[in-house]
Structure 1
Amino acid sequence: MSKITPPRFDNPLFVAIDTTDAGRAAALARAVASSAGGIKLGLEFFMANGAGGVHAVRAAAPDLPLFLDLKFHDIPNTVAGAVRAVAPLAPALLTIHASGGPAMIRAAREAAAEAADRLGIATPPAVVAVTVLTSLDDTDLMSVGQRGPSGDQVLRLTDTALAHGAAGVVCAPTELVRLRGRFGAQPLMVVPGIRPADAARGDQKRVMTPAEARSAGADVLVVGRPITGADDPADAAARIAQEIAAAELTGAA
């Protein structure tokens, strides 16, 4: 398997637009376009609107990279087919579940590369593997028969994902320091569970502020409800982008 060079993004803020309303999703994408580094569309949106909905949202913010967060998890052949099916949407990032195992991870990565080559897409989708959902804690893992603590499970799944072709992983911000220490700077670290200090946690159990997560080594910061649920999403996105920029400026000083 050839060496993977994960994509890098000048602006790490990806706005999670999780709604079934394609019109609202397009309006949100348009509102945050000047502050965001990318947009994330997930399973809820895709099941309601399909590829046509994705095209509509992309048209509203054509310069933003797309993170297609569908979390594929099935037998290898089925996942490969699913990756080929969404490849024409040219997502920059595409998720699978690391718990699908080595053969499924390899199948997803190979299908992404093959589809990009067939379609003439210069950069294949970067396949990133979901480790442990940020809505789960140690008690939740035990209830489904997985060995805790959650940080150890994340480490095991990251090891498997990177060894078998994933460009990086999706992890909670609280796991970043440990993962960077084990796997270095190369793998892409995509981090949900980002909450500004004054925002509600919602159903996220392992969270950090944008500045904290960036400092800990996050490449992509996924922020949803603190932006999309705000009275003024454009202003909320701008404030978070400014918070990240200020933290990076301070860190570089």
Structure 2
Amino acid sequence: MSQSLMVAFDVPDKKAALKLAEELGGGQGKTAKVGMELYYKEGAAVVQDLQEQGFAIFLDLKLFDIPNTVQKAMLQLARLGVDFVTVHAMGGKKMLQAAKRGLEQGALESGLPAPKLLAVTELTSISEAILKDEQNCRLNLKEQVEQLALLAKAAGCDGVVCSALEVADLHQVVGDDFFYLVPGIRMANDQVGDQVRVATPAKAKAWGASAIVVGRPINQSTDVKTAYQAYLADWQGSEQEK
């Protein structure tokens, strides 16, 4: 269960990443989310460094380009032996299918398992007003997320990234045989920052999240391990970390 609480390694460089890994007590049973900030600074080497520490890797680069480009990029990412990768669902069905092909080809050529392909629906920083006034979407937020999730499933994705507020409805509309990864996780007394659609770990779990991602409340804490354990306890409920 601890591996379903992913920690965002949204830090500036390798030194900070390894420090965070140490403060977490190592990577055994844990998943590190490596996003744009760290990957663009350090490249694939930092992924290997964290894997050597025992972390599973969620490589969150949110690819969004023409199908051919995305397919070739995913072929390269699959060779890293990571566990999850992301694309934007709004790239369309052909792009999502191309991403899946690239992952399968890269996994086959490297002899590694193919990473799970997760499609980002709407970012947790997007509100109803932004969706309507800036994205000019004719659907409301709930409908938009549902349609993007249905598209992702039809294209062969393994799951979606969505806010906790949409998970229960997605189970009804898309099904239980899909992976629902939920960012925007905050305790009730935490600052939400630039997140809009947030929830506690316990609520995300109750509503049907398969896994959650926690960033600043852990990686910017003055006591990283205690913060991690508090979030893990809330996610697991009465269970204790093994």
Q: TM-score range by the shorter chain?
A: over 0.9
Whole-Å Cα distance in 2 between the matches of residues 71 and 227 of structure 1? Answer: 22
Change (3 A) 1:156 1:94: same
Unaligned runs of 5+ in 1: 1-8
| 2:43 partner SS | helix
| 2:3 partner SS | coil
Q: Which amino acid aligns with 2:117?
A: V
Counterparts of residues 132-143 of structure 1 (less than 5 Å): 132-142=122-132, 143=134
1:96 matched to 2:74? The reply is no
Counterparts of residues 199-214 of structure 1 (less than 5 Å): 199-214=190-205
Q: Choose from 63, 68, 84 the match for 2:59.
A: 68
Q: Which amino acid aligns with 1:202?
A: G
Contact 2:107/2:114 (CA < 8 Å) preserved in 1? yes
1:220 matched to 2:207? The reply is no
Unaligned runs of 5+ in 2: none
Shift of 1:10: 6.0
Contact 1:15/1:36 (CA < 8 Å) preserved in 2? no
Please report the TM-score for the alignment, with normalisation by the length of structure 2: 0.93
Contact 1:13/1:36 (CA < 8 Å) preserved in 2? no
Stretch of structure 1 that moved more, 84-93 or 214-223: 84-93
1:129 matched to 2:122? The reply is no
Q: Percent identity?
A: 36
Stretch of structure 1 that moved more, 128-137 or 111-120: 111-120
Shift of 1:57: 2.8
Q: How many residues align?
A: 238
Identify the residue that residue 34 of structure 2 maps to in structure 1: 41
Shift of 1:237: 0.4
Whole-Å Cα distance in 2 between the matches of residues 209 and 43 of structure 1? Answer: 25
Identify the residue that residue 11 of structure 1 maps to in structure 2: 3
Contact 2:77/2:106 (CA < 8 Å) preserved in 1? no
Whole-Å Cα distance in 2 between the matches of residues 23 and 58 of structure 1? Answer: 15
Contact 2:27/2:56 (CA < 8 Å) preserved in 1? no
Q: Tell me the alpha carbon deviations over residues 112-167 of structure 1, each in whole angstroms, 9 at most, x when there is no partner.
A: 1111111011x201110000000010111121222331111101101111001100
Change (3 A) 1:227 1:46: same
Q: Choose from 17, 23, 26 the match for 1:31.
A: 23
Counterparts of residues 229-244 of structure 1 (less than 5 Å): 229-244=220-235
Identify the residue that residue 175 of structure 2 maps to in structure 1: 184
Shift of 1:84: 1.1
Q: Which amino acid aligns with 1:138?
A: E
Whole-Å Cα distance in 1 between the matches of residues 214 and 150 of structure 2? Answer: 26
Q: Which amino acid aligns with 1:57?
A: L
Q: Choose from 51, 56, 61 the match for 2:49.
A: 56
Q: Which amino acid aligns with 1:145?
A: N
Please report the TM-score for the alignment, with normalisation by the length of structure 1: 0.89
